[in-house]
Structure 1
Amino acid sequence: MPLVHSERIGETCTLLLWKLTETESELRETLGNGFNSEELSSISHPQKIREWLASRMLIKVLVEQFGITYAGLHKDQHGKAFLINNDSNISITHTFEYVAVAINPFAAVGIDMEKSDPKLQRTANKYLSASEFEHAKDELPNLSIYWCAKEALYKMYGKKKISFKDSIYIHPFSVDNQIVSGKLTDEDLILDSRIHVRWFDGHCLAIAL
């Protein structure tokens, strides 16, 4: 997988973005036993299998840069991934063409990447509040940022059953902003986040810290 982009996000988070070029068999050979075969067996679509394997390979490459021995991943009851035998926080995202991983040794992190797609226009009223919907003006770049920012914040929080429309709010932004502000509420908890936005070949990438 050729490295497309690497960046320090904030003071302690590292982002790696790779182009997905390997076949499934090449990824399996490179990983060896470094993945959860039981979790993989629950995936049936060939492309999803390839993306899943690629994300694990990228995590392995990334954590080894920090001198961490990669022993695999485990997931909590909410499906949030953690490194085995290490407390560093990680987040994973993959599309048909790209795989990205963020690692933050000191605080939670969430990452999402999506290709700008008209489906975001068709479903906007399901994930945007009234004020967000008005601000987005049905423009695809705005909707891409809203969706990825909300997904990244959702993944940073790491708990299920959070409404994107009612519980995650993204403050108004300009489409060329590299940082947007978001807020997640869950009962008495309020979680504020600075969400870093990047664009790659028509794909929006968001990292919540």
Structure 2
Amino acid sequence: MPIYKTIAHNSQTSVKIWKITESYEDLLKPLDLKPKNLTRVLGMKSELHQRGFLSIRHLLREFGYTDQDLFYDGNGKPHLKDGKHISITHSFTFSAVVVSEDFVGIDIEKQRDKIAVIAHKFVDYELDYLNKIAENYVNDLTKIWCVKESLYKMFATNGLSFKEHCLVIPFAKKEESTVAWIDYKDKKFRYNAQFLEFEGFTCAYTLPS
């Protein structure tokens, strides 16, 4: 299908989300992949992962890029050859790419009850305002995870901990943004976090404030 949603955050930053309804074959056919990436996608055991990988390349095309314009550094962080900042994500049947003139991170996650089981691994400060018996508890946890994952992708530093170094400031149920911090090695970094929900999924992206 075409783009599911486009978000023009500002003149320097744009987000595009893809709903993956196409078959693996239909996604692969129009793409010109680097030999290394073609080998990689052919070797994936899960068709869901193959389709996610390929949908990201279709999103690149929507931004005017090709697979050849994307490369990864030693920390696994994606970069564009023209110097713009990029972050990518996919979860089940959705994928997203954000491109910006500034540092940026993005994450999509499916809203699932099992996130409550692992909450102790990534929340600390946030326990002060989370309500475990609220009907939106799972959604709130998913928002926090997505924000912290997007921070992690943007910061791309070994040793950064979701629980110890990333903080998400309280947000109301209907709010679509909040502030997040990275407190790492005696330095504090402030970020703006935006989030949205659709079809049982949560997406968050972060930018320096």
Q: Normalised by the size of structure 1, how large is the TM-score? A: 0.89
Task: Select the residue among 128, 133, 137 that pairs with 2:127.
Answer: 133
Structure 2: how far apart are the matches of 1:75 and 1:44?
22
Runs of 4+ in structure 1 deviating by more than 6 angstroms, as ranges, are none
Question: Is 2:169 the counterpart of 1:154?
Answer: no
Q: How does 1:54-203 map to 2 (within 5 A)?
A: 54-62=55-63, 64=64, 71-83=68-80, 85-104=81-100, 106-129=101-124, 131-138=125-132, 139-203=137-201
How well do the aligned residues superpose, as a CA RMSD in angstroms? 1.8
What is the CA distance between 1:181 and its match in structure 2? 0.6
**Letter of the aligned partner of 2:102 in structure 1?**
A
The runs of 5 or more residues in structure 1 that have no matched partner are none
* Counterpart secondary structure, 1:71: helix
Structure 1 pair 70/52, CA: closer, same or farther in 2 (3 Å)?
A: closer
Question: Is 2:44 the counterpart of 1:43?
Answer: yes
Structure 2: how far apart are the matches of 1:77 and 1:87?
17
The runs of 5 or more residues in structure 2 that have no matched partner are none
**Letter of the aligned partner of 1:103 in structure 2?**
V
* Counterpart secondary structure, 1:207: strand
Question: What does the per-residue CA deviation read over 1:78-124, in whole Å, with 9 as the maximum and x for residues that have no partner?
Answer: 100112x31011111111111111100x2111001111111111111
Structure 2: how far apart are the matches of 1:69 and 1:112?
21
* Counterpart secondary structure, 1:31: coil
**Letter of the aligned partner of 1:127 in structure 2?**
F
Q: Sequence identity of aligned pairs in percent?
A: 28
Which residue in the other structure is 1:205 paired with?
203
The alignment covers a number of residue pairs equal to: 202
**Letter of the aligned partner of 1:12 in structure 2?**
Q
Structure 2: how far apart are the matches of 1:197 and 1:181?
11
**Letter of the aligned partner of 1:165 in structure 2?**
K
